[in-house]
């Protein structure tokens, strides 16, 4: 059969790919998204079992329920004219070596916690850190991501923000360096240092020594402003994916699930389309955009097309570790009415925040959205974020008894963490789904089940969207600005805008610049 025709083909329906596709469709491009899985959303897809609706990945959202917002994902939703209902909250639970307590976004309540745990000197250090971070936070959000593009057109899209950027010229060089440089100059209290290391790890998969100051500054601008609240999408992450999907299909964009790309086709140094498993072809007249990881993208490009030096360098990109997951359906009767949506459990600060099974996150989204579980039940998602070693699982047969035994033993730390929140959790559990790095690798097409590239701030930069093949771009967490929901949304926006005529791009900025 002759190949299908499109302007742009996008490989993968992660949040970066969906943002990119929705924007291009909004601008009038004919877009085709190819997703290997039967479900859309990549690591952020939702799924249902026995009446329980689960998030596969991200559970913590902010800066999405209001506009204008510095969050790139909110900017994408504003541009494409889509939204969804949000639940708001400000408190989560902590189960730390220092004890159990509830904390909230915003500076004042955290200072109350510090006063109780560490005393007045710790409060003074936190207030000083806030003072130091204030200009950096302003600098981090001075340029809307919607204005960024990786071509000479950026002179015209960034230009209107030049006066604002000039005000922050002194702060800008600090943003690219590791946050530890800022932290080391202000903070000596061990609890605050551990707290900041933990937040950095949740943001980037790396501690403060590897997380860029820009990421932390962005978080300070959002989490520690007056009146701040966190967001959760009603309907779970699947509702967010659905909103982006509507942005694609309402302009005639096509989404193909079960469409596994086996090769990026090239001719005369130009990306021309993709080949699908089963032999199908899609011809792209303007661009191919890969939302797959850099390691998986390299596998799709025919040998000899890319410069070998480039291939070797990208292939050697270090990886973050993987995940363990529990997706549970439980009986809710008799649980406390003030159960929090999220809990963070740290077992031992001395081991370091990146130590396997030391940091465990617990999400109970049905506290905010009861429709995510059957009546009288709760939906839980428990995971070890980016700290489960892949090499413990590599080569295991997923149908073997040894694999089943290891799943049980390696999930025990998550059960014990849960017992610090719900002591009788094992008796309450009616549905138990356990995920491993091999689950990530298989269902999410994630190289080694990884959280993404471990590119340390100050040592290297995340690459931009362009590849050394004309018409081939990338987005997602292997691409600037990196790991995390806001970052991958930004990468999709940047890749899309790098194809959009500058005058059309400039008109759009009026709707998001605030």
Per-residue pLDDT at 254: 97
Task: Report the C-alpha gap between 266 and 272 in whole angstroms.
Answer: 5
Q: Are the beta carbons of 14 and 476 closer than 8 angstroms?
A: yes
**Per-domain residue ranges of the chain:** 4-49+66-84+233-316+454-509, 322-449
Q: pTM score, two decimals?
A: 0.95
Triad 238, 16, 211: Cα angle to 5°: 110
Of 451, 445, 325, the residue nearest 37 (C-alpha): 445
Query: Which stretches in the chain have pLDDT values below 70?
Result: 107, 513-514
Taking the C-alpha atoms of residue 217 and residue 134, their distance in angstroms, rounded to an integer, is: 8
- Helix 72-80, helix 237-249: angle, nearest 10: 40
Give the C-alpha separation, 279 to 268, whole Å: 22
**Looking at residue 514, what is its pLDDT?**
53
pLDDT score, position 30: 98
How confident is the model at residue 324, as a pLDDT?
96
pLDDT in tens, 84-113: 999 999 999 999 999 999 998 876 788 999
pLDDT tens per residue across span 170-203: 888 899 899 999 999 999 999 999 999 999 999 8
φ and ψ of 5, to 5 deg: -115, 140
Q: Distance between CA 440 and CA 448 in Å, rounded? A: 8
- Position 228 scores a pLDDT of 83
Task: Assess if CATH 3.40.930.10 describes domain 4-49+66-84+233-316+454-509.
Answer: no
pLDDT at position 513: 62
Whether 233 contacts 66, CB under 8 Å: no
Confirm if 141 and 71 have CB atoms less than 8 A apart: no
């Amino acid at each position: 059969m002759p190949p299908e025709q499109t302007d742009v083909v996008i490989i993968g329906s992660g949040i970066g790919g969906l943002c990119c596709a929705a924007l291009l469709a909004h601008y009038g491009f004919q877009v085709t998204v190819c997703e290997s899985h039967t479900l859309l959303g990549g690591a952020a897809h939702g799924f249902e079992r026995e009446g329980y609706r689960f998030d596969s990945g991200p559970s913590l959202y902010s800066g999405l329920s209001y506009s204008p917002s510095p969050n790139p994902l909110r900017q994408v939703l504003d541009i494409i004219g889509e939204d969804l209902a949000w639940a708001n909250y400000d408190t989560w639970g902590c189960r730390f070596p220092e004890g159990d307590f509830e904390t909230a976004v915003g500076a004042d309540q955290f200072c109350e916690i510090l006063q109780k745990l560490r005393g007045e000197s710790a409060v003074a250090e936190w207030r000083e850190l806030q003072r130091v971070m204030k200009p950096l936070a302003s600098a981090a959000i001075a340029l809307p991501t919607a204005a960024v593009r990786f071509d000479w057109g950026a002179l015209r899209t960034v230009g209107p923000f030049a006066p604002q950027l000039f005000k922050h010229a002194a702060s800008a060089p600090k943003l690219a360096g590791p946050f530890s440089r800022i932290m080391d100059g202000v903070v000596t209290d061990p609890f605050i240092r551990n707290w900041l290391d933990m937040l950095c790890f949740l943001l980037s998969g790396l501690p403060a020594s590897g997380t860029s100051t820009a990421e932390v500054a962005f978080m300070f601008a959002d989490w520690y402003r007056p009146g701040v609240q966190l967001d959760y999408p009603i309907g779970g992450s699947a509702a967010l994916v659905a909103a982006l999907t509507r942005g694609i299909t309402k302009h005639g964009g096509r989404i193909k699930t079960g469409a596994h790309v086996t090769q990026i086709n090239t001719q005369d140094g130009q990306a021309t389309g993709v080949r699908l498993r089963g032999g199908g072809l899609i011809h792209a007249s303007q661009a191919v955009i890969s939302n797959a990881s850099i390691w998986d993208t390299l596998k799709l490009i025919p040998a000899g097309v890319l410069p070998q030096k480039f291939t070797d360098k990208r292939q050697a990109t270090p990886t973050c570790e993987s995940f363990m997951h529990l997706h549970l359906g439980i009986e809710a009767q008799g649980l406390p009415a003030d159960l929090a949506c999220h809990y963070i459990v740290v077992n031992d600060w001395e081991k370091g925040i990146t130590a396997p099974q030391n940091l465990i996150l617990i999400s109970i989204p049905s506290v905010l959205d009861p429709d995510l579980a059957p009546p009288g039940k709760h939906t839980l998602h428990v995971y070890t974020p980016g700290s489960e070693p892949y090499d413990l699982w590599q080569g295991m047969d997923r149908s073997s008894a040894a694999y089943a035994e290891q799943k049980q033993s390696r999930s025990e730390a998550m059960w014990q963490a849960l017992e610090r929140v719900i002591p009788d959790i094992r008796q309450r559990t009616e549905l138990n789904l356990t995920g491993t790095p091999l689950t990530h690798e298989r269902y999410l097409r994630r190289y080694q089940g990884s959280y993404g590239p471990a590119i340390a701030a100050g040592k290297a930069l995340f690459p931009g969207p362009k590849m050394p093949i004309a018409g081939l771009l990338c987005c997602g967490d292997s691409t600037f600005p990196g790991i995390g929901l806001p970052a991958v949304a930004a990468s999709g926006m940047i890749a899309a805008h790098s194809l959009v005529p500058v005058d059309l791009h400039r008109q759009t900025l009026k709707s998001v610049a605030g």
